Amino acid sequence: MRKNIFKISVFAALITLGSCNSAKNSNNDKVIISENIQSTTLSDITISESSVKEKLEFLASDELKGRQTGTEGIDKAAGYIEAFFKENNIKPYYETYRDSFEVADRTGFNVIGFLEGNDPELKKEFIILGAHYDHIGIGKAVGNDSIANGANDNAAGTVAVMELASQFSKLNNNKRSLLFILFSAEEMGLEGAKHISKRLNSEDLDLYAMVNFEMIGVPMEGKDHLAYLTGYENSNLAEKFNEYSEAEILGFLPQAKEYNLFKRSDNYSFYEEFKVPAQTISTFDFTNYEYYHHVSDEAEKMDISHMANLIEKVIPGLLKMTNTSEKEIKLN
């Protein structure tokens, strides 16, 4: 989340399967493939803490050297995500999983997975679940450590999207189509999201809503909801989501409005391009984590139980969004 504009003391400073060849921008027609997959039921869904931990530890490992856009480390992260999508029957939306673009004399690439809806008409409508998987690379050294691993920002959100992709593939019960997008170059000015939102809009994608995941690695305390939604007052998403979930999942955080976080993450590009509900789910509340853009933003500091619980709890609301006969989520 691009919160570097804040002058707040709490911010204390705050596999390789991809290849250079696969990073070429694919302008070919979209691949629309259906496949019979053994479906499960919502009551069967459990997010494994060990699965969350394994992904988080890899994405935030020193091996990836902070996942800066245009580096070998983020290429390894992209390859890891691609392999996971393939293993879980999530198809590439374009010819490959990578949507490439140029930024600051380097090549960035979003990673995009696709799960087609199963309704002949509603599958033409799309919901995007996204998170940025890049980080800042090398940060201000503390002792012998100079790698800004970006566990909370935003390996945590990336893990959420990967887990949701896997579970929706198992459920095989979404009438609308889903795109799972991991954005690059968020830390360079939301450039990955700007690129793909423009591209999808130029291709006349019928976007219903976009839900982004950002900094969900530690829980909030003293709240009656699990996470907050940026741009809370801009749409009825939180209200309908909680209704669908039959639980208080998403709430309002005053600081999110005060610091205009709605415009500080990848959701905003989709709002700008499509003028549909496009908002971010987060649990960073300015009091519960002090390692923003800090080399101590490590996997070991994440609350794995909280992450698994949050990811599991958002599934019913998201599933209902894919299946309502009308677009019930609307801008205010």
Q: Is the pLDDT of residue 44 over 70?
A: yes
For a pLDDT cut of 90, what percent of the chain falls above it?
Answer: 86
Look up residue 231 and give its two tokens. Answer: 């741009």
Of the candidates 330, 269, 319, the residue with the CA atom closest to the CA atom of residue 130: 269
User: How does pLDDT run across 87-113, given as a tens digit for each residue?
Assistant: 999 999 999 999 999 999 999 999 999
Q: 40 falls in which pLDDT band (50, 70, 90)?
A: confident
Domain 44-323 listed as CATH 3.40.630.10: yes
Only one residue has tokens 């590009």, namely: 269
- Sorted by sequence, the CB contacts under 8 Å of residue 327 that are 6+ apart come out as 125, 208
User: How does pLDDT run across 232-273, given as a tens digit for each residue?
Assistant: 999 999 999 999 999 999 999 999 999 999 999 999 999 999
- Residue 264 DSSP one-character state: S
Q: Point out which residues pair with 115 in neighbouring strands.
A: 178
Q: How many C-beta atoms surround the C-beta of residue 58 within 10 A?
A: 17
Give the pTM.
Answer: 0.90
**pLDDT reported for residue 42:** 83
- Average of pLDDT values for 171-184? 98
**pLDDT reported for residue 8:** 37
**pLDDT reported for residue 43:** 79
169: left (phi over 0), alpha (psi -120 to 50) or beta: alpha
Half-sphere exposure of 41 (CA within 13 A, CB side): 2
Half-sphere exposure of 180 (CA within 13 A, CB side): 30
In the chain, where are the structural domains located?
44-323
**pLDDT reported for residue 41:** 83
**pLDDT reported for residue 38:** 45
Only one residue has tokens 């939306």, namely: 93
What is the rounded CA–CA span in Å between residue 318 and residue 180? 13
Residues 198/191, Cβ–Cβ less than 8 Å: no
